[in-house]
């Protein structure tokens, strides 16, 4: 039920704010921005949700600062570190791929990685604030940026195909 509140809020935000705005700009803009919105909604689901129902309790637990020792779990052999590293990389590959497409095809590598870093940093700072069972780790930040870099590489490789599809959408009636 807690997740349903968040997804309902995201659906209303999309339907009443973003959909109209993006639809006016064309089918290709609507498609790319909607894919990015869906992707970011899933990132929120896996990293921060439930958010809205947690807001009244944000100040009811101590804030645990970010672990600033990179790959300490890997070095100490603790837990399922390999799974966490791989999942954090996979989580941001779509960002590195979709972000340049949302920027009128003009986002450079540095801008894409900067925004991937900022998104990841925001998530890492908010996780222990919203939910006291979540932790924040510099390793997650590093692996998320690596995922964004891989996504950008896929974007560069597939750019001719993707632009061909988007151009056909633009000219289709």
Q: Which domain holds residue 71?
A: 2-171
CA quadruple 122, 125, 127, 130: dihedral positive or negative?
negative
pLDDT score, position 115: 97
Which two structure tokens, joined as six digits, stand for 84? 């966490």
For 112-144, write each residue's pLDDT tens digit: 999 999 999 999 999 998 888 888 899 999 999
Q: Exposed (0-12), middle (13-18) or buried (19+): which is 12, by Cβ within 10 Å?
A: exposed
Report the alpha-carbon distance of residue 34 to residue 131 in Å, rounded.
28
The mean per-residue pLDDT over the stretch 55-70 comes to 86
* Domain total of the chain: 1
State yes or no: pLDDT of 48 exceeds 90: yes
Dist. CA 144–CA 95, nearest whole Å: 10
How does residue 173 score in pLDDT terms, banded at 50, 70 and 90?
low
**SS3 assignment for 26-37:** CHHHHHHHHHHH
């Amino acid at each position: 039920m807690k997740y349903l509140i968040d997804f309902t809020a995201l659906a209303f935000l999309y339907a009443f704010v973003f959909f109209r705005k993006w639809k006016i700009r064309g089918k290709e803009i609507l498609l790319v921005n909607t894919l990015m919105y869906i992707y970011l909604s899933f990132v929120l689901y896996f990293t921060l949700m439930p958010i809205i129902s947690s807001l009244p309790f944000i100040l009811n637990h101590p804030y645990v600062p970010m672990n600033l020792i990179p790959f300490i779990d890997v070095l100490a052999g603790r837990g399922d570190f390999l799974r966490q590293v791989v999942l954090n990389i996979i989580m941001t590959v779509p960002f590195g791929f979709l972000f340049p497409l949302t920027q009128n095809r003009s986002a450079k590598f540095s801008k894409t990685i900067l925004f991937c870093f900022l998104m990841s940093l925001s998530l890492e700072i908010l996780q222990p604030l919203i939910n006291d069972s979540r932790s924040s780790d510099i390793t997650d930040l590093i692996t998320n940026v690596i995922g964004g870099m891989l996504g950008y590489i896929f974007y560069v490789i597939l750019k001719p195909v993707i632009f061909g599809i988007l151009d056909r959408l633009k000219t289709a009636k």
